[in-house]
Amino acid sequence: MALSYKDAGVDLESYEEAMARLPALMQRTQTPRVLPLTGGFAGLFQLNGNGHQYTDPVLVSGTDGVGTKIKVAMRVGKYDSIGIDLVGMCVNDCLCLGAEPLFFLDYVALGKDDPDLTTALVKGVSDGCVEAGAALIGGETAIMPDLYGAGDFDMAGFCVGVVEKSRILDGSKIQAGDVLLGIESSGIHSNGYSLVRKIVFDAAQLEVDTHVPELSATVGEALLTPTRIYASVIKALLNDPSTKESVSGLAHITGGGLVDNTGRIIPNGLQAVVDRSRWEIPAVFQWLQRLGEVDREEMFHVFNMGIGMVVVVRPEQVDAAQEIVRQSGWTSHVIGDVREGTEPAVYLN
């Protein structure tokens, strides 16, 4: 009997249907520096031009995934926000170098052809790119039936940004006396979901449609809140005349929590001191801690605990920085400062 690709689990007609839906999702993210290319094997992006002229540009790149938050999306059957998480995880890392996000590419792997699922996933990526100001210029959708089961999928993302070499934020400008300004997260973001799922679904035996009164949401709604993308507020801070010269460092708070991630940018001989009494821990983390009887230090090591991005700023510009964050529609807190010390970062209480 003659075999076909479809017999092997790959339906090219369904695949082509899915691919036909994606150009519109990409087009809505395009910026003036994306060069048109019909039928190309890659994407084209013009660095200079259209009002942008870099003197000594450095490209900044980052890649990440969404982790086991994907498993929650599968339980809920909601797939149009996971792509936002993907963009956020990659773009937020690039922002920490002071970079302007330029473009994004995604990789989606599925066990079988599913045009509706593919479209929902890429729509989330498209939404995230619009929010980040980055153009979605390409990607790859792989159908691998022997590697993924029916209904299974995974995603990875790749962001490229640019920063003038003289304006790279690598932590070297941080000095004693600088203030740690924490910008609030939207919730759990995309880290720690192996523990989240262990607490919620294994230990507590909750369902995704269980209503949680203290969260005013179902379990699924609370756990699928998209990762906050900080591109607009960081751009504002790095371009406003009152703060552009006073931001000395940026830290994206992911796995490892505030101390581990802030500590990555602190120069030798200095120490970031985080005062945990300076902000109220969001209800979703209090709920998880109580539900799983999780130790406090474990919570702070695994989750962002309400602070998604730390801005290190000179003390005389803290008020100006907080006002810019407020005008961007978000909330920030003074959560600590930089001092002389031997450990990169510590908690005060």
Task: Give the residue from 167, 196, 214 where a domain finishes.
Answer: 167
Question: Does a structural domain hold residue 252?
Answer: yes
Distance CA 151, CA 66 (A): 17
Least confident of 34-48, 281-295, 305-319: 34-48
Question: Does a structural domain hold residue 283?
Answer: yes
The boundaries of the domain holding residue 230 are 179-347
> Domain containing 140 — which CATH number?
3.30.1330.10
Q: Give the residue-averaged pLDDT of 143-158.
A: 92
Residue 37 reports pLDDT greater than 90 = no
pLDDT of the residue at 50: 79
Tell me: do 225 and 303 sit in the same domain. Answer: yes
Question: Does a structural domain hold residue 44?
Answer: no
Mean pLDDT taken over the chain? 95
Residues 6+ apart with CB under 8 A from 39: none
Tell me: do 127 and 19 sit in the same domain. Answer: yes
Tell me: do 227 and 189 sit in the same domain. Answer: yes
What pTM did the predictor assign?
0.96
Domain count, the chain: 2
Question: Does a structural domain hold residue 277?
Answer: yes
> Domain containing 227 — which CATH number?
3.90.650.10
Q: Is 145 helix (H, G, I), strand (E, B) or coil?
A: coil
pLDDT of the residue at 98: 98
pLDDT of the residue at 338: 98
Tell me: do 219 and 137 sit in the same domain. Answer: no
How confident is the model over 289-342, as pLDDT tens digits?
999 999 999 999 999 999 999 999 999 999 999 999 999 999 999 999 999 999
Q: Give the residue-averaged pLDDT of 203-209.
A: 97
Tell me: do 119 and 254 sit in the same domain. Answer: no
Q: Is 65 helix (H, G, I), strand (E, B) or coil?
A: strand
Question: Does a structural domain hold residue 50?
Answer: no
Residue 7 reports pLDDT greater than 80 = no
Question: Does a structural domain hold residue 4?
Answer: no
How confident is the model over 63-81, as pLDDT tens digits?
999 999 999 999 999 999 9
Residue 208 reports pLDDT greater than 80 = yes
Question: Does a structural domain hold residue 203?
Answer: yes
User: Where residue 13 falls among pLDDT bands split at 50, 70, 90?
Assistant: confident
Backbone angles phi, psi at 202, to 5 degrees: -90, -55
Tell me: do 119 and 160 sit in the same domain. Answer: yes
Tell me: do 267 and 161 sit in the same domain. Answer: no
Question: Does a structural domain hold residue 93?
Answer: yes
**Dihedral sign, Cα of residue 277, residue 282, residue 285, residue 287:** positive
Least confident of 43-47, 239-243, 308-312: 43-47
Tell me: do 203 and 223 sit in the same domain. Answer: yes
Q: Is 126 helix (H, G, I), strand (E, B) or coil?
A: helix
Other CB atoms within 10 A of residue 248 CB: 20
- Specify whether the CB–CB gap between 339 and 348 falls below 8 A: no
User: Where residue 150 falls among pLDDT bands split at 50, 70, 90?
Assistant: confident
Specify the residue for token string 């792989």. Answer: 142
